[in-house]
Amino acid sequence: MDTIETSRLILRPFTMEDAADVYDYAKDPRVGPIAGWPAHQSIEESRTIIQTVFASDGVAAITLKENGRVVGSVGFVDRYPAGKIVGCPDNEIGYGLHPGYWGQGLVPEAVEAMLRWGFESRGYRRIWCGHYAGNWRSARVINKCGFHYQFAVTEYVAAMDERRRSYEYVQTAEEWRERISGTV
């Protein structure tokens, strides 16, 4: 993916040099488990995630402009909550953030930049976003970024070996254009 700059952030592909920063937030049990993945146990595990999950085109490191520190991730996770529809390209966006930076509006800033990229550069017609029951911080981000509720489903979360209630939201390219132009 391209590097994207916002007022406070640089969204860019991950590198192996980011492993210590990734581990710093991914080891915190408040981050991964509520999003459906276990807390990282080592820097080596964070390196593996960078080489596999974060290596996907469409996934970015949330990097602070002020100091270059990686404080989270944002990107498209190749998930299609309502199923793929012919002629309607879509994807789901996911994110994670270091708890030391919660409440500062960094994830909405990153998600808004990725929405623009997804709709304008990727040609998505729908972008999904979801959260598990209890992850109300994520629900607030979803609401702030203009998504609207579609449905809930109970699903098996393999990484956590448990069943969870998932709430799914969507935003279409048309809704996004109306929202950013101020016509909604």
Q: What is the mean pLDDT of the chain?
A: 95
* Sequence letter at residue 97: L
* Sequence letter at residue 123: G
Give the span between the Cα atoms of 125 and 175, in whole angstroms: 10
How would you classify the pairing of strands 9-12 and 70-76? unpaired
pLDDT at 83: 84
Burial label, 72 (beta-carbon count in 10 A; 0-12, 13-18, 19+): buried
Phi and psi at 68, nearest 5°, equal 75, 5
Higher per-residue confidence, 111 vs 79: 111
In what order do the strands lie in the sheet containing 59-64? 4-5, 9-12, 59-64, 70-76, 90-97, 126-132, 162-172, 148-157
* Sequence letter at residue 91: N
pLDDT tens digits, one per residue of 98-140: 999 999 999 999 999 999 999 999 999 999 999 999 999 999 9
pLDDT tens digits, one per residue of 32-77: 999 999 999 999 999 999 999 999 999 999 999 999 999 999 999 9
Class of domain 4-181: alpha beta
**Chain centroid offset of residue 173 CA:** 18
Residue with tokens 């991964």: 32
H/E run at residue 12: strand 9-12
**Per-residue b or e along 107-132, where b marks 16 or more CB atoms closer than 10 Å to that residue's CB:** bbbbbbbbbebbbeebebebbbbbbb
Share of the chain above pLDDT 70, in %: 99
pLDDT at 182: 83
* Sequence letter at residue 68: G
Q: For the chain, which residues make up each domain, given as ranges? A: 4-181
pLDDT at 184: 54
CB 61 within 8 A of CB 19: no
pLDDT tens digits, one per residue of 4-27: 999 999 999 999 999 999 999 999
Q: Which residues pair with 59 in a beta bridge?
A: 75
Query: How many Cα atoms sit within 13 Å of 46 on the Cβ side?
Result: 25
pLDDT at 87: 83
